[in-house]
Chains A and B, each alone.
Chain A
Amino acid sequence: MSRPLLVVDDDADLREALEEVLRDAGHEVLGASNGKHALEVLGTMPVLPGLVLLDMMMPVLDGGGFARAMRQVPQWRDIPVLVFSASANARQVAEEIGACGHLRKPVDVDTLVEAVRRHKVE
């Protein structure tokens, strides 16, 4: 069975748009509105996600905080994270938190789908 995707972004419209596009591309997608929420969602998932698409600038717990907390949990440690950020230094941020890659906002459908396909573990 294919693993789901976890999309973490505080902007509800953007998160839903991401979910729709990725569902259209054939993925099962779960959403979370910030880092803390994402950790909670992770805890309830029967099958761990094959990739976390992670916004960096979020209230409550930001992307960096989420990545650090996630890596503390042994069974979550190896879940790949794809940084999805509006920041000009998304690449550097991705390196800092040990992400498998980065996408700069804004992005078009094809680039998004292709990046997810490339980084997701099945």
Chain B
Amino acid sequence: MKPLRLLVVEDNPDDAALMLLELKRNGFRPESHRVQTAAAMRQALVGADFDIILSDYSMPDFTALQALKVLQETGRDIPFIVVSGSIGEGEAVEAMRAGARDYFAKDRLVRLGAAVERELAEARARRERARTEQDRRMLALASEVLAEPEDLDERLRRLVQLPVPKVADWCTLRLYEKGRGGLRLVALAHPDAERAARMWEVDQRNPLEVGMDFGPAHVLATGEPELVEEVAARPRPVTDVSEYQEVLRELGFRSALHVPMRGRTGVLGVLSLAIDRGDRRLGPEDLALAQELARRAGLVLENARLFREVQDAVRLRDDFLTVAAHELRTPLTTLRLQLGSLMQHARETPMAEELETRLERSMRQVLRLGTLVESLLDVSRLTSGEPDLSPERFDLVEAVRAVVERYGAEAEGVGSELRVSAGPELWGRWDRARVEQSVAALVSNALKFGPGRPVEVEVTREGPMGRVRVMDRGIGIPEDQLERIFERFGRAVSSRSYGGLGLGLYLARRAAEAHGGRAWAEMREGGGARFTLELPLEKEERA
């Protein structure tokens, strides 16, 4: 026997009994309620759920057409069938137009059972379609809400509003907080503000302890969803705190479900739905919806967490670099000043030539150490993000000449002739330290890989750009290495034969690009390499 919740709109008890008999004959076990006025029908529809409505066409105080209106006012989708003693074609058509699903003459009820069966199946299919559509819309909205630019808590507050009241009376979202030893409610939705406030307050005082065998804390621990269709059938505590238990009892949950919100490293929190009134119960389709909502929320939570971690890591790195820079540069400053001052004295007062040479050698090494320290600090800062530029206005030609001059002694040392050819001044706004560092890297490379052979430096204007070219007759660069040498720690030769950190070209290119310019390398006809650095000139200079 199939249970059937039946609402009969009929003034004649005998006629109602006939309908029931016919339904029982067709294998139904009807549980019926009879009304014969609009008021009684309204009350019945508010109080309970019905699978089907059978209505007389015309009663002393009510008609089927009025009954259809009452049903439509409630917004419920319950199949409505007219069963009348004397129904004409016109009246039947009118009833169908008004929303009746079928009609029968009271003396011809043979088909009633089959019609009810069909209507139930169709109503179920309609409900499923509506549910699918509702879930689809809700999930689309959830994605929208979660992508809003508001802060995370606000997005979560808006997310939990979505399933209430269509899917459930309550929707709550709890996050696990290590520091507080439990799951803390961060967002909650319920149509009744007073009930919502009671839940919120008791939870803020007593976060759900991890280690319970049921409820959100259990879901957090296992990562498995929990569906309790009938709370009354399984009244198990979700908390040990008696104050909390008391509030939950008073709120009177009838049906509940909890699903985990997963992140990369485990369960981050729990999303719950609950019903606290009416006959409605949560079922597998509600569980599926909740899981999908939780999955989306989990992704957003995970991203927020990663973002925080990255920010923390960047802050930590920047703090470290600031201290490291200070610690490394201070002794270098002392050394440079001491050696510089000693060299001045050496020039002014007669001193063994040998001593002067040693001082110069020491100074070169200090300068080299300084360059290495700067490269290392730069590369750690540049690993993420753009370099910070402190632009100032200067003449590129003059800056290149100054750098080349600094390498005069080194060029002499390796037996290379170092020449600069340049046109008139080329002004622009650049970070002087970085530009000099870049040019120095090119010159130093040329001397390193082409000792004993001439190195030419050219400064020219190419349209809107100032161009520095450093050309050597050294070992050259294989075609397939031309790009690789600009990578961090990239080198075309073994680090055993040629030292260096492999950072100079990387930093030069990054600096050029940060200025809106570029840096590249080419093979030279007749052997050797040509390195080019281009930097945008200031506007008046381009004209």
Chain A contacts to B: CB under 8 angstroms: 11, 13-14, 17-18, 20-21, 24, 57, 86-89, 91-92, 104-110, 112
Nearest B residue to A104 via CB reads B433
- Measured CB to CB, the residues of B under 8 A from A are 322, 325-326, 328-338, 340-341, 344, 370, 377, 381, 388, 390, 433
Q: Known: A88-B325, A89-B388. Contact between A21 and B330, CB under 8 A? A: no
Q: Across the interface, do A105 and B332 meet the contact criterion of CB distance under 8 Å?
A: yes
B322 near A87 with CB under 8 A, answer: yes
Contact among B330, B344, B381 for A105, CB-based, below 8 A: B330
- Known A-B contacts A86-B326, A89-B390, A92-B390; the reply to A109 vs B334 at CB < 8 A is no
B336 A11 Cβ-Cβ under 8 A: no
Question: Which residues in A have their C-beta under 8 angstroms from that of B377?
Answer: 88
On whether the beta carbons of A107 and B330 are closer than 8 Å, the reply is: no
| Known A86-B325, A112-B337; further 20 A-B contacts with Cβ < 8 A | A11-B334, A13-B334, A14-B331, A14-B333, A14-B334, A14-B337, A17-B333, A17-B337, A21-B337, A87-B322, A88-B325, A89-B388, A104-B433, A105-B330, A105-B333, A106-B370, A108-B340, A109-B336, A109-B341, A110-B340
The docked-state distance in angstroms from the alpha carbon of A81 to that of B377 is: 27
Q: What is the chain A residue whose CB lies nearest that of B324?
A: A86
Which of A57, A88, A106, A112 touches B388 (beta carbons < 8 Å)?
Answer: A88
CB contacts (< 8 Å) of B340 on chain A: these are 21, 108-110
Residue of B329, B331, B335, B381 most packed against chain A (CB within 10 A): B329
B341 touches A86 (CB 8 A): no
CB of A83 to closest CB in B, whole Å: 13
Given A87-B325, A89-B388, A106 contacting B333 (CB threshold 8 A): yes
Asked if A107 and B325 sit within 8 Å, CB to CB, the answer is no
In the complex, 11 of the A-B residue pairs with CB atoms within 8 angstroms, ordered by the A residue number, are A13-B331, A17-B338, A86-B328, A88-B325, A88-B381, A89-B390, A91-B390, A104-B433, A105-B329, A105-B333, A107-B336
CB distance from A20 to the nearest CB of B (A): 6
Distance of A105 Cα from B332 Cα, bound (Å)? 8
What's the least CB distance linking A111 to chain B, in Å? 10
Contact status B336-A24, CB under 8 Å: no
Kindly report which residue of chain A lies nearest to residue B348, judged by CB atoms: A24
